[in-house]
Amino acid sequence: MAGFGAWPVSARAGQGAPILRSTDLHLRIGEMPVNFTGKNRTAVTVNDSLPAPEIRWREGDTVTVRVDNLLPRGSLFGDTTSIHWHGILLPANMDGVPGMSFDGIRRGESWLYRFQLKQSGTYWYHSHSGFQEQAGLYGALIVEPQVPEPFKYDRDYTVLLSDWTDLSPADLYARLKKMSSYDNYGKRTVSDFLRDADNKGLAETLDDRGAWGRMRMTPTDLSDVNANTYTYLMNGTTALGNWTGLFRPGEKVRLRFINGSAMTYFDVRIPGLKMTVVAADGQNVHPVTVDEFRIAVAETFDVIVEPSGQDAFCIYAQDMGRTGFVSGSLAVREGLRAPVPAPDPRVILSMEDMGHGGMDHSSHGASAKPEVSAAVDHSGHNMAAMAGMDHGGAAMQKHADSEAGNPLVDMQTMVPVPKLDDPGIGLRDNGRRVLSYADLHSSFEDPDGRWPKREIELHLTGHMEKFAWSFDGIPFAGAEPLKLNYGERVRIVLVNDTMMTHPIHLHGLWSDLEDDKGAFMVRKHTIDMPPGSKRSYRVRADALGRWAYHCHLLYHMESGMMREVRVVE
């Protein structure tokens, strides 16, 4: 099983990275050999650790971090490096994005980060140079609050999830560009067709296969890279390494989940324990108790659990496509391991998931209007009309002129919906209480309070076969910056025209997610966008400078799903 890689490697094998607490830090970025799968490979490390050391600071502190680039000449990972402090509010020149914040840190040189911490919570940091994040340059960042939190706990553990590949990340990207479906081993077969025909009828099965064929897409393609390539890690170790957090019966344990992976969505549960979610993306929320949650790439969730009644519990994180998992333990002593659950059934996308047909989405945080999407052929013709699909009379979504006839756009959503109370593909009606965005409500009112005076709509676009990703059909290299006026309140509306799920991250500014009626829900730094969805959030342009705005799927960002946001006076 792909979840059971071997040979865990970190500074403290199996127990996560070392913890640094000083406000005056010295971080050294270099390379070291690792072996997670039985094959020796080279990773990018910080202070000889993968993941990078966990940093713990305090709200209000002014911190200084010297970063040395010790990457060797001829490194597979480039000549320059950087560190981006994900979700942290700071001056633009401290944000760590080469080409926007600064020029990057060249080999043999150093860079001095200095900023004051204006917030508390669970965050993380990672490289923004090339594919170094995939190769190991990521770590947890915890900022302790100045005032007591509205919840209590006895123990505090970070659970940093990530994905590792023995391939050179550059080679993996090249493979995606040549054959984006390489990891899609679960394509439907003749036996699947015969079973579906028996269960649903021949006509319905033929219609379904025909619709997917006209779109040149496959309903088993949930993720571009999965456990057929990746080994999943928890705090820098594989499932075999069994990362363990200790507890005494009756204690409350805080688990700070961070998805530091390059491309992997994880579905997380602890069989036998309820999890009370108390924070999302570092910001406190009204507590909500669940059995399971999906964590998008770059998101963080803090939960509190109360283990009792048995000596060990399994922390189980399976990938969204059900191709692999990683697990660890909560236990009363080292060496114990609870049974690992069987993976959930493989997920098959439906036409409703992709936005086709007349499904009533009122149960998924939407109006009762049907959600309709359409594939677009290379000449820009709407293939929904060619397929004879019923739009149900709903108002059709408008699209930017830059999408029309665009060879980099292979699909458009016609009637997108928020899907805020939809837990996600593969998690609906699974017998467990699963977290959705509709459950998340910040423990504070809208911090700005103003109604936005301006609205910016952006479409997440792509072409699956070409592995080309963009906003409004325009890749980053050809896109003009988005300009915000200092101090203004803006509404950003995102429409996902693709069949993939995208976590969208705006640097330097908070994203205040709205419900489907426009009311403030929850403050986040990363907004997940399922296929066929339309979500809006408010932004206060209170930080001058140039900021990155991108999909946090690393290879999607690299292939063009990125913009620059400029906050100007």
Domain limits, the chain:
19-149, 351-425+445-569
d(CA 140, CA 256): 9
**The predicted structure's pLDDT at residue 217:** 56
d(CA 272, CA 303): 15
**The predicted structure's pLDDT at residue 409:** 94
Strands (E), 187-346: 230-234, 244-246, 253-259, 266-269, 275-280, 283-290, 292-295, 300-305, 312-319, 325-331
**The predicted structure's pLDDT at residue 2:** 39
User: Counting every residue, how long is the chain?
Assistant: 569
Q: How far is CA 11 from the centre of its chain?
A: 26
**The predicted structure's pLDDT at residue 395:** 72
d(CA 20, CA 388): 60
How many Cα atoms are found within 13 Å in the side-chain-facing hemisphere of 394? Answer: 27
Q: What are phi and psi of 351, to 5 degrees?
A: -60, -35
Contact partners, residue 540, CB within 8 Å, separation at least 6:
447, 448, 487, 488, 489, 509, 510, 512
Contact 203, 237 (CB under 8 A): no
d(CA 328, CA 316): 7
Contact 234, 327 (CB under 8 A): yes
Pairing of strands 138-144, 54-58: parallel
Q: Which helix (H) or strand (E) holds 115?
A: strand 110-116
What is the dotted CATH code of the domain comprising 19-149? Answer: 2.60.40.420
Please, which residues bridge with residue 41 across strands? 34
Helix ranges restricted to H, 139-222? 169-178, 190-200, 202-215
∠ CA 296-225-507, nearest 5°, is 40
**The predicted structure's pLDDT at residue 14:** 46
**The predicted structure's pLDDT at residue 220:** 56
Secondary-structure class of domain 351-425+445-569 per CATH: mainly beta
Please, which residues bridge with residue 506 across strands? 549
d(CA 5, CA 12): 17
Same fold, 19-149 and 351-425+445-569: yes
What residues in the chain have per-residue pLDDT under 50? 1-14, 187-193, 205, 209, 212, 214, 356-373, 377-393
Contact partners, residue 102, CB within 8 Å, separation at least 6:
82, 93, 96, 111
For the whole model, what pTM was predicted? 0.89
